[in-house]
Amino acid sequence: MGTSLFIGHGSPMLAIQDLPYTRELRQLGDQLGKPEAVIVFSAHWVSRGQAVTSTDGVYETIYDFGGFPDELFQVVYPARGSVSIADEINALFEAAGIPAQSNTVRGLDHGVWVLLRHMYPDADVPVIALSVNPTLPPEQQYRIGQALAELSERRNVVIIGSGATVHNFRAMNFAAPEQADSWAKEFDDWLIEHMEKWDTAELFNYLQLAPHAKQATPDYEHFLPLFLAMGAGDSRKKAELLHQSYQYASLSHLIVKF
């Protein structure tokens, strides 16, 4: 049986930092063991339709950011893909009536490799990256993730929604220590409470019901991976908070296992 997780991928700098959060990611990888594949919905791959990487080759490492130290641009994460598992994913999407297309040329963006560099530092686990579509409401995001619940039941795969529950550049304080602004924690605490109850009706209506929701989620593409990961855990309907911390006052580092 596989695992579904929502993981906050934070700043690209996490790839080269030794912090309590990056150590937590390494520990998580150790606890999960070596799966057949890691499937990552990345907030940094936005498309109008569902896209799935499909290759058996080594991925290019994509540096989809600027203004960071040269050291970060030297990081390479040479993971391979898996056409066979990509085909299984596409078949499940088709069965669920979700149009999906294979992408044979895209590399791994930092929403994928920043996390996996800590979780699977040897890059020895096949990776399949999936895009996100921010034109769809939460319930449809959940349904996309739900289409992969069967794969998680029959295979030892790790499905990750990679994003951030609180992601608002204007609200970040880059000089702040690793402590949370109260509003950011209040929003996450509301999410955690309703995820643990598996209260999807409330969660889907988060913009109207959650405190500080508009301030927390102006970048919806970063928030929606939460629903994708939760949907992938639909057959278990159990949410477990593994980690909650913050950087730059409001950028959330949240790990939830479904």
Cα–Cα distance for residue pair 211/125, rounded to 1 Å: 39
Structure tokens at 204: 């889907």
Contact present, 144 and 39 (Cβ < 8 Å): no
CA distance 258 to 235: 9
Q: Is the pLDDT of residue 172 over 90?
A: no
Q: According to the model, what pLDDT value does residue 171 have?
A: 81
* Average pLDDT for 119-129: 98
pLDDT value of residue 177: 65
pLDDT given at position 175:
79
Q: What percent of the chain has pLDDT over 70?
A: 99
- Beta strands 37-46 and 127-132 are parallel
Lowest mean pLDDT among 52-61, 179-188, 193-202: 179-188
Helix (H, G, I), strand (E, B) or coil at 8: strand
CA dihedral over 236, 237, 242, 247, signed as positive or negative? positive
> Going by DSSP bridges, is the β-strand pair 50-53/100-103 parallel, antiparallel, or unpaired?
parallel
Q: Are the beta carbons of 6 and 226 closer than 8 angstroms?
A: yes
Which residue is it, tokens 């080269």?
A: 16
Strand partners, 80: 58
For residue range 3-32, list pLDDT tens digits in order: 999 999 999 999 999 999 999 999 999 999
3-class SS at 50?
strand
pLDDT of residue 179: 77
Report d(CA 167, CA 185) in Å as an integer.
12
pLDDT digits (tens, 9 = 90+) for 192-230: 999 999 999 999 999 999 999 999 999 999 999 999 999
Longest dimension (CA), the chain: 48
Stated as kind and residue range, the H or E segment containing 52 is strand 50-53
- Give the chain's domains with CATH numbers: 3-257 (3.40.830.10)
Let me know if 122 is exposed, middle or buried by CB neighbors in 10 A (0-12, 13-18, 19+): exposed
Q: What is the pTM of this model?
A: 0.97
Q: What is the pLDDT of residue 254?
A: 98
Residue 122 scores a pLDDT above 90: yes
Burial 223-256 (b: 16+ CB within 10 A, else e): bbbbbbbbbbbbebeebebebbbbbbbbbbbbbb
